[in-house]
């Protein structure tokens, strides 16, 4: 890009200078020619006047020759006028006491009457422009020399400019194009050009700009580094605050949604999640079951072993339930020694199996050093199309109450009113809806 620009700049500068010089020279030449034309006109008029005066003197001398006849005198005068045809175009000569008139030329021009003794002479002068042209023709060599001088001067200037000016312009352009904007350095002056005032002034201005650019760049880099450091510091502080805020939010969320003792969902969070699952199950027409689990005779554990041991038993029981349920459902502390389990996509038969696994696991477990044995009563209910949250929980709670009333350590299913008739018919056929577990081998739930 720089190379092309420098070439076009060189050509434009040379052509501009040459055209200016040629224009000035032509203007001077035109002024000289105009002056020469005006001077030739003035010279022509002056020479005509001189020739007329010479003619008057010459004729007076001819007339003074008494030994010449009138005819000889007349012939001499006309011969003289013929010799001066560059100034006179014609003449009429009439001697006194003579009826004949002698003429010469065509008499085209400016007539002049000369009163001479013994003669009447009328001469016709050539127009001044003709004489001026003659004067200009005489100066033709001057015009030719002027034109040759112009051509020679034009050629010499063009050669000198191409050799000297182009090289200097190229050198300046090369120096300017060598400036690195990322690391600007002042340009060193060329020794061969340092004597040129204009070159020194231009390069001095360029170096001031380069120094200013370098200073501005250094300031900008310093400001950028400082700004980066501040931004990094602010970002680090912000990230630390964000981490602290996230941790606090997690802790707050855990405190708000988790039971502090058993580390499962609390009753408030259970109510929220249970309402959402019921709504989704109805909207998607999917199965949903709920388990209500109660630790049997838990008051006796507190009375015999103390409330601290009782809290430990609650913690272990919650972890056992959570371990059995796994990712199949959600476990929450319902209140006291009661727990609730939400089982999405489970019908009452699958829910019954899951409840039995929970009951059997807790029944086979031993807690604390005292090997405390705890059994559970579980009520199971499945969501019906017409159920509300409260109605579903009421049926599961009633089933839990029935399990307590029928001897504890068992699972009772709560059927919806629509399936009540099917339950009665099943009882008539000798089928049972509760599940009794035989005495299992002791097992400790981690």
CA torsion 28→29→30→34, rounded to 10°?
100
Give Cα separations from 349 to 57, 289, 338, 381, 388 (angstroms).
163, 10, 22, 10, 21
- CA angle, 387 as apex, 276 and 391 as ends, to 5°? 90
Give Cα separations from 407 to 196, 233, 296, 378, 436 (angstroms).
120, 67, 10, 12, 10
Quick one: 178 exposed, middle or buried, by C-beta within 10 A (0-12, 13-18, 19+)? exposed
Q: Which of 51, 337, 338, 352 is catalytic?
A: 337
Residue among 121, 138, 127, 109 at smallest CA distance from 80: 121
- Do the Cβ atoms of 141 and 121 come closer than 8 Å? no
Bin 273: left if φ > 0, else alpha if -120 < ψ < 50, else beta.
alpha
Beta-carbon neighbour count of residue 109 at 10 Å?
A: 19
56: Cβ contacts below 8 Å, ≥ 6 apart: 114, 116
Is beta strand 410-414 parallel, antiparallel or unpaired with respect to 376-382?
Answer: parallel
CA 148 to chain centre: 59
**Integer Cα distance of 377 and 405 in angstroms:** 10
336: Cβ contacts below 8 Å, ≥ 6 apart: 298
Give kind and range of the element (H or E) at residue 118.
none
Question: Is 226 part of the annotated catalytic residue set?
Answer: no
| Sheet strand arrangement including 119-125 | 102-105, 88-95, 119-125, 110-116
Give Cα separations from 61 to 30, 66, 90, 98, 122 (angstroms).
46, 10, 21, 21, 17
Residues with a known catalytic role: 337
């Amino acid at each position: 890009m720089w190379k092309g620009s420098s070439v076009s700049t060189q050509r434009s500068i040379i052509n501009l200078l040459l055209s200016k010089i040629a224009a000035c020279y032509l203007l001077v030449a035109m002024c000289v020619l105009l002056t020469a034309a005006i001077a030739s006109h003035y010279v022509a008029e002056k020479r005509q006047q001189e020739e007329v005066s010479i003619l008057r003197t010459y004729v007076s001398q001819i007339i003074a020759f008494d030994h010449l006849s009138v005819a000889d005198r007349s012939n001499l005068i006309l011969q003289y006028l013929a010799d001066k045809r560059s100034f006179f175009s014609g003449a009429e000569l009439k001697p006194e006491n003579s009826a004949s008139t002698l003429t010469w030329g065509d008499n085209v021009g400016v007539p002049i009457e000369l009163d001479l003794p013994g003669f009447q002479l009328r001469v016709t002068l050539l127009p001044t422009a003709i004489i001026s042209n003659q004067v200009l023709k005489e100066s033709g060599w001057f015009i030719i020399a002027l034109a040759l001088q112009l051509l020679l001067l034009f050629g010499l200037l063009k050669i000198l400019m191409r050799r000297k000016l182009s090289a200097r312009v190229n050198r300046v352009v090369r120096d300017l194009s060598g400036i690195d904007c990322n690391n600007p350095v002042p340009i060193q002056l060329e020794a061969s050009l340092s004597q040129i005032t204009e070159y020194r002034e231009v390069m001095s201005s360029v170096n001031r700009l380069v120094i200013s650019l370098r200073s501005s760049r250094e300031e900008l880099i310093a400001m950028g580094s400082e700004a980066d450091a501040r931004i990094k510091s602010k970002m680090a502080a912000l990230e630390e605050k964000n981490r602290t805020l996230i941790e606090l939010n997690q802790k707050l969320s855990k405190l708000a949604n988790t039971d502090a003792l058993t580390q499962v969902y609390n009753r408030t969070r259970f109510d929220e999640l249970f309402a959402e699952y019921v709504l989704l199950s109805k909207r998607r027409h999917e199965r949903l079951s709920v388990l209500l689990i109660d630790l049997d005779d838990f008051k006796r554990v507190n009375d015999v072993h103390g409330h601290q041991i009782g809290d430990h038993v609650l913690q272990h029981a919650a972890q056992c339930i959570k371990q059995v349920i796994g990712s199949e459902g959600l476990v929450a502390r319902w209140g006291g020694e009661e727990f609730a389990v939400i089982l999405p996509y489970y019908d009452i038969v699958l829910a019954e199996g899951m409840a039995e696994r929970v009951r059997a696991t807790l029944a086979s477990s031993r807690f604390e050093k005292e090997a405390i044995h705890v059994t559970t009563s579980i009520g199971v209910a499945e969501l019906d199309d017409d159920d509300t949250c409260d109605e579903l929980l009421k049926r599961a709670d009633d089933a839990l109450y029935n399990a307590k009333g029928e001897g504890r350590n068992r699972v009772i299913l709560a059927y919806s009113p629509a399936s009540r008739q099917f339950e009665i018919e099943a009882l008539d056929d000798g089928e049972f809806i509760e599940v009794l577990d035989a005495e299992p081998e002791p097992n400790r739930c981690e």
